[in-house]
A and B are shown apart, each in its own frame.
Chain A
Amino acid sequence: MSLLAEFEYKRPESLDELLDLLSDFEGKAAILAGGTDIIPRIKMGLKEPALVIDIKEIEGLNYVKKEGENVRIGSITTIFDIRNNALIKDRYPVLHEAACLTASENIQLRGTLGGNIIQDTRCVYYNKPKEWRASFKACFKIGGGTCNAAGGAKKCFSVYCGDLAVALISLGASVLIMGKDAEREIPLEDIFTADGKIPFSLNDGDFIKEVIIPSEKKMGGYEKLRLRKSIDYPVVNIALSIDAEERGRLAVGSVAAKPLLYGFSSFEELRQLPDRAYADASPINNMALSPLYRKSMVRVLSEKLIGRI
């Protein structure tokens, strides 16, 4: 039923308090910021947290600032604020465009950077209420041993559909992760496991405090194919960032549990990438539109984006 299950609810006011709660609840806690990803999942019975930690009261997580070589964005900065930030618009067109094309304006107003990055993977057989799923066997992602989208498959094929992470990966961004006893900075792409069942490598007590972007200005852009001009998750999304020396990265989202990532150090190399990305993408029939179409759009959109930039 689309009723919210019962859970404990806490609103810590400091990072330390948050980290204590995360560690005390050992993986049974869920973090609530904008709630646009987690709330529907709790309603559908996909997540059953014992504790929901609302982090909106924690000071000092909402910012976009230039600091030394880097631009740092706090994890509860809303997508709408990112979209409207002049520094980002000026330096990282890829991120600005991705923010503009994320969901709809009302979701951008609630959704946050951190939440958008660690949104869980999706599948038409998975993101459904419990009573709908009663017609199927429990799939890998739910803890069972089947894939309902691809009969006979040995793993989960759910898809990462985030917008911002794909743009940030193209920028070479990293994330600052706070744990109970330590903090660490790792490249954003490294938090992805490429396994749809458990798409992120974060530990139970981990929290993404901020995203760090190398401060140099980068040319680039973002292409998102979606069925409607609002709301929809991408059918395919492509992000491209290039520095002054023709070096850069192309990232492809929504074809697997982890964005595909390609580095290049010349335009010559960049022009090879659409074919490579096309060859690497192997979507299955678990999202809107046919897998064949989604695969072919990887090349089409990459070429379109390269042509545009």
Chain B
Amino acid sequence: MKDFKYVKKGLKRTDGEMIVTGRAKFTVDMALPEMLFGKILGSPYPHARIIGINVDKAKELEGVKAVVTGKDIGYRRFSFIDTPAYPAEQTPLAVDRVRFVGEGVAAVAAVTEDIAAKALDLIEVEYEELPAVFDPEESMKDGAPAVHDIIEPNTTTAWEDFGIPKAKSRPFKVVNNISNRTLIEYGDIEKGFEEADCIREDRFEIPSTSHVAMEPHVAVANYQPTGKLDVWLTHMGYEHKRFWLAKLLDIPMSMVRVHKTYVGGTFGGKISIFPYEILSAYLSRLTARPVKITLTRQEVFSTCPPARRMIVYMKMGVNKEGKITAYHSKVIDDVGAYRRSSPTAMYLAHSFRNPIYDIANVRHEGYGVYTNKLYATAKRGHSLQQMSFAVESQIDMICEELGLDKVDMRLKNFRKKGDVLPNGDTLNSYALPECLKQAVEKIGWKEKYGKEKSRGFGIGTASMFSGAHNYPFASGAMIRLNHDGRMILYTGQTEFGIGIDTVMAQVVAEVLDCPMDYVIVNCGDSEVSPHDVGNWLSAGMFVSGEAVRRAALDLREQMLNYAATGLEIDVEDLEMNDGWIVSRSDDSKKLSFSDMSRYGIQMAGGDPLIGKGYTKCVPEVYFWKGKYNKTASLSSGKGRFTQAYGLAAAAAEVEVTPETGEVKIIELVVADDCGTPINVKSVEGQIMSQAVMGIGDVLLEEVEIKDGIVMNPNLLEYRVPTANDIPKITSIIVDSYEPNGPFGAKEVGETSRAAAISAIANAICNAIGKRICALPMTNDRIMQAISDKKGGNS
């Protein structure tokens, strides 16, 4: 493999100065002339009928420009998933019924935020309280209060709008509050369990955690007299945003412009569309003025969806040799009031764990269940962390029962490079065994495991897609050559902290062998960038980065061809070198990139030299018209999912104070197989930040919901680790070279968190000699487990 010049280096971020000096413009910084401020009134009840809303007094308040209620907007429905099987059910404001505490019932636009807040106090809402249900397992029982009855679409679904053949919108009758089901099976689990020497059945419970992005949820909308809608959002990709804004406001999608902004963190929490975004646009159209809605931290915690709450029933069979013979997972996803991404999550709960262990007999059941609680969504690993915690905990329990070495047992069950998964995905790169070996070696597993009282060791594994099959997992990119020889790259990627400007410039500079500052990156503007999937499901580098690479190759070829003609030499004799096109045989023959721009304009009929590149994550999955329809199924897990899997293993050493249950993490090691790290520093940052997040997941974080009310909606009571709480963390990059990825790169942003969670959790249980099957492992839970005589062994 040839040496890279710009890729696989720890280059500093090109926008670092912009951000640290406060010059980078975030949506929360946006101010437009004549801008109004919006506020949303939330329901105090978890489940109630809206009898009436009186907004007269609010309208009379000086400075109030508009007040809207759910009745004004009507049933304009949206969701993350909107298919004929699972039609959207959420509306921007509740129309006749509220289903969770905090659900919007009315919204105000006023000249100041203060006046908008005062206007909310003047809105009178009459409710009739309805019986509510909070426990998903109670919710599934006959006779439980119905969160939804029949969901009747009044428009086509998104699936139809995307053009999936045979899709036709139809009513969805909710039975026993079940929102969605997934059943994935292969092999013969009965036979598998018969072959097992040890079968364990355990119940794990994982609460919601919040994303805690530094920038709160915020939207600025400016509806123009021309019918155009300009928006500035804090988001992870504009395709979803503009699709839904266009659909819900009945304007052509091309008339919605999502402007480039810096985004202060997302972690999965800003995917798809939210009521406050639709309302800012709706209010802007109503008032003919720009409208900004900034949620307070409390509103973010109480009304924006946190990570999914899951109950996982795990049943695994393992034989004496340590081989897993059968695997049965039953997941209850407490979706809250609206299902949002649950159908995706329930299939990811299987497919993210699928590349890790080679298990012949599998049954995975997933149920999304409605409750009268805040709805939930994806968070960094979308189901992976919940499943990794459950599966890796149970594997430790089984190893202890059978007296197996926890490292060897896992190594014995790992898949191998080249394996074809039951759905057809191929593991073209696979360094999970190396990840685990390096992580346990670094932590000193062999020398230290079981040696010291109150010290515990744990390991965990995880894997994740590098983008997926379903709409809109494709990306295009354009590179425009300028007269000065520099280039502007147009990509639909969003900069939300991940360093897109830097890594995409590295890709272009590598292909064109030119200095980094030759590449100016224009990212995340829906009006100038080609179609792009957005930065989710870890598609950023693998899908969009590949599109950028291909655009650079396209431009390179164009430039070389013109150079060959201009220099009157064979194109094969030319190469690019540090911003020049040079003859290999005679280095006095050379042209600058600027020369090439002038050549295109003057000698080639005005050719502006634009490179174009595009790619689709899984080309084998498509839908168009008639017979051209080959989609994968979320509910049965059939069909191709992705082209490459990122993998990670973590090892942790902890010490638990037996008197107080306090946990001290001595060291955490995370080894991540991300293929080629395009930017080594960025990749280390991704791994570290996930390790830190995992520490919060295990020790501190939970969105506590009591009777439907978020009990800790602020940063004092919802505790994220502080700098003082961070132990020694070592990140190890294991480069497996993914042949399908740009320069061998694949996913890096989401696996490590789940690996870290399961490693720390296992280490704590190992230290106390008892098993805790719920997160977070707070001091009181640990003390409870220590004192509980009936608790399982560990």
Contact = CB atoms under 8 A, between A and B. Distances in A.
Interface stretch (A23-31, A86-94, A124-132, A202-210): A124-132
Nearest to B301: A132
B153 interface: no
A296 B298 contact: no
A293 B101 contact: no
Interface string B286-305: 00000000001110001000
B588 interface: no
Nearest to A233: B716
B192 to A, nearest CB: 40
Given A132-B302, A135-B45, A228 B711 contact: no
Nearest to B297: A2
A266 interface: no
A134 B44 contact: yes
B699 to A, nearest CB: 8
A233 B716 CA distance: 9
A289 B298 contact: no
B34 to A, nearest CB: 21
Contacts of B44: 131, 134-135
B779 interface: yes
Interface in B702-755: 709, 711-714, 716-717, 719, 721-725
A290 B783 CA distance: 11
A292 interface: yes
A225 interface: yes
Nearest to B782: A293
Given A2-B296, A135-B709, A232 B719 contact: yes
Contacts of B659: 300, 304
A229 interface: yes
A292 B778 CA distance: 13
B269 interface: no
A228 B117 contact: no
Contacts of A304: 659
A182 interface: no
A289 B302 contact: no
B722 A230 contact: yes
A231 B779 contact: no
B780 A292 contact: yes
A100 B120 CA distance: 42
Nearest to B711: A124
B268 interface: no
Given A131-B42, A132-B302, A135-B101, A228 B717 contact: no
A297 interface: yes
A228 B660 contact: no
Nearest to B787: A296
A234 B367 CA distance: 40
A293 B39 contact: no
Contact of B780 (A134, A135, A231, A290): A290
Find the residue from B297, B302, B660 having the highest chain A CB count within 10 A.
B660
Given A135-B44, A230-B724, A293 B713 contact: no
Contacts of A288: 717
Given A131-B42, A290-B780, A300-B659, A228 B722 contact: yes
Given A228-B719, A231-B716, A289-B778, A1 B120 contact: yes
Given A132-B302, A135-B101, A229-B725, A1 B296 contact: yes
Nearest to A4: B114
Given A132-B713, A135-B45, A227-B700, A300 B719 contact: no
B717 A296 contact: no
A235 B717 CA distance: 12
Contact of B113 (A3, A230, A293): A3
Interface string A265-309: 000000000000000000000001110110011001100100000
Interface string B468-511: 00000000000000000000000000000000000000000000
Contacts of B298: 2, 128-129, 132
A232 B725 CA distance: 12
A1 B117 contact: yes
Contacts of B296: 1-2, 129
Contacts of A289: 778-780
A228 B783 contact: no
Contacts of A230: 722-725
A128 B114 CA distance: 19
Contacts of A301: 660
Interface in A228-267: 228-233, 235
B302 A3 contact: no
A228 B725 contact: yes
A2 B42 CA distance: 15
Contact of A229 (B661, B712, B722, B779): B722
B100 to A, nearest CB: 11
A124 B794 CA distance: 34
A297 B721 CA distance: 22
A228 B721 contact: yes
A128 B711 CA distance: 9
A2 B113 CA distance: 10
Interface in B18-50: 39, 42, 44-45
Nearest to A300: B659
A293 B120 CA distance: 41
A300 B101 CA distance: 39
A288 to B, nearest CB: 7
Contacts of B722: 104, 228-231
A84 B717 CA distance: 29
Contact of A228 (B45, B700, B784): B700
Contacts of A297: 660
Contacts of B120: 1, 131
Given A2-B296, A228-B724, A231-B716, A300 B660 contact: yes
Interface in A101-124: 104, 124
A254 to B, nearest CB: 14
Interface string A28-72: 000000000000000000000000000000000000000000000
Contacts of B700: 227-228
Find the residue from A1, A229, A292 having the highest chain B CB count within 10 A.
A1
A231 B302 CA distance: 22
Nearest to B778: A289
A231 B39 CA distance: 30
Contact of B783 (A2, A227, A231, A293): A293
Contact of B660 (A1, A225, A290): A225
Interface string B648-684: 0000000000011110000000000000000000000
A253 B608 CA distance: 74
B251 to A, nearest CB: 31
Contacts of B780: 289-290, 292-293
Contacts of B709: 132, 135
Interface in A1-21: 1-3
Contacts of A134: 44
B270 to A, nearest CB: 21
Contacts of B714: 128
B724 A3 contact: no
Nearest to A293: B780
B26 to A, nearest CB: 19
Interface string B97-109: 0000100000000
A301 B713 CA distance: 29
A304 B660 CA distance: 10
Contacts of A231: 716, 722
7 contacts: A124-B711, A135-B101, A227-B700, A229-B724, A230-B723, A293-B779, A300-B659
Given A1-B117, A293-B661, A297-B660, 12 more contacts: A132-B302, A135-B44, A135-B709, A227-B778, A230-B722, A230-B723, A230-B725, A232-B719, A289-B778, A290-B784, A292-B780, A300-B659
Interface of B: 39, 42, 44-45, 101, 113-114, 117, 120, 296-298, 302, 659-662, 700, 709, 711-714, 716-717, 719, 721-725, 778-780, 783-784
Closest 6 CB pairs of A and B: A293-B780, A229-B724, A1-B117, A134-B44, A135-B44, A230-B722
